[in-house]
Amino acid sequence: MTEERPPPGIAGDGDYEVRGRLGGEGPFSVVWKAVHRSSGQDVVLKQVRLSGLTRSLRECLDCEIKFLASVCHPNIIRLFDVFQVDGCIFLVLEFCQGGNLATYIKQKGRVHENAVRKFMKQIGAGLEVMHAHHIIHRDLKPENILLSTPSNDAVLKISDFGLSRVVHPGEFADSVCGTPFYMAPEVMQFQKYDDKVDMWSIGAIFFELLNGYPPFRGKNNVQLLKSIKDSTSLPFSQLLPSLHPDSIDMCTSLLCKNPGKRLSFDEFYHHKFLRR
């Protein structure tokens, strides 16, 4: 989107005073930090221009709104309100002071295994809610995991469900979407897929938390896919202290190239690493 300001009526005589643009801009959306005038509460306004949306993207937007409106969970970003102005849908979302997990990793580098366990438990709790609603996110990555505060005991929140959709057991999706470094190989190969793509993404996030860098690299999708296909083991940092075998097992099992052998959500949620 190219608008420098939201449409009239939002910052002017509307309920929200816009304070500035946040990151997370997409082809059809832009994100603003704002304040609710009557309560003084900081919020996020996600502005989506409807005219540019394909049918598939409109279905994803509807899925995002329906899902977020139906849940209230500490590890899922909260949706407070939805309204439409001048051809744009606005989602009023919870503001997280701690930024996102990508910034956290950039600042901290490798994260201690015990802290990673706490993070993964919280992400797992959010995934449990998604799993109960048959939601696959399709763009899980550190940028879309938010921290409630800058403190070490921050609550993690899964956000940005703009590519999400409902996939019931036995059903499959086939749209190529997501962020390459966290995209499952079956998506890059234009194959049909299910919720196992989210488990791959969780594995990539898990690996990056432990090592400070993503598990596979490439200048483009072709090189990235080749890196995945050619790998025989995960490139854990040689600087890491000895990792617990349960940690290595969970990471390796999440990043299994064969989705049929990759950890399911239930296997991930009950894995020994998270139960310790």
Q: What is the pLDDT of residues 100-152, one digit of tens each?
A: 999 999 999 899 999 999 999 999 999 999 999 999 999 999 999 999 999 88
What pTM was estimated for this model as a whole? 0.93
Q: How far is CA 232 from the centre of its chain?
A: 27
What is residue 252's predicted lDDT score, i.e. its pLDDT?
A: 96
Residue for token pair 């832009």? 30
3-state secondary structure of 32: strand
Q: Is 139 a catalytic residue?
A: yes
Residue in 15, 81, 139, 195 annotated catalytic: 139
How would CATH label the architecture of 101-275?
Answer: Orthogonal Bundle (1.10)
Instruction: Confirm whether 16-94 and 101-275 share one CATH topology.
Output: no
For 175-200, the pLDDT digits (tens) are: 999 999 999 999 999 999 999 999 99
3-state secondary structure of 33: strand
Under a CB-based contact definition with an 8 Å cutoff, are residues 257 and 104 in contact? no
Question: In the chain, where are the structural domains located?
Answer: 16-94, 101-275
- Number of Cα atoms under 13 Å in the Cβ half of residue 220: 1
Under a CB-based contact definition with an 8 Å cutoff, are residues 82 and 116 in contact? no
Strands 88-94 and 79-85: antiparallel
How would CATH label the architecture of 16-94?
Answer: 2-Layer Sandwich (3.30)
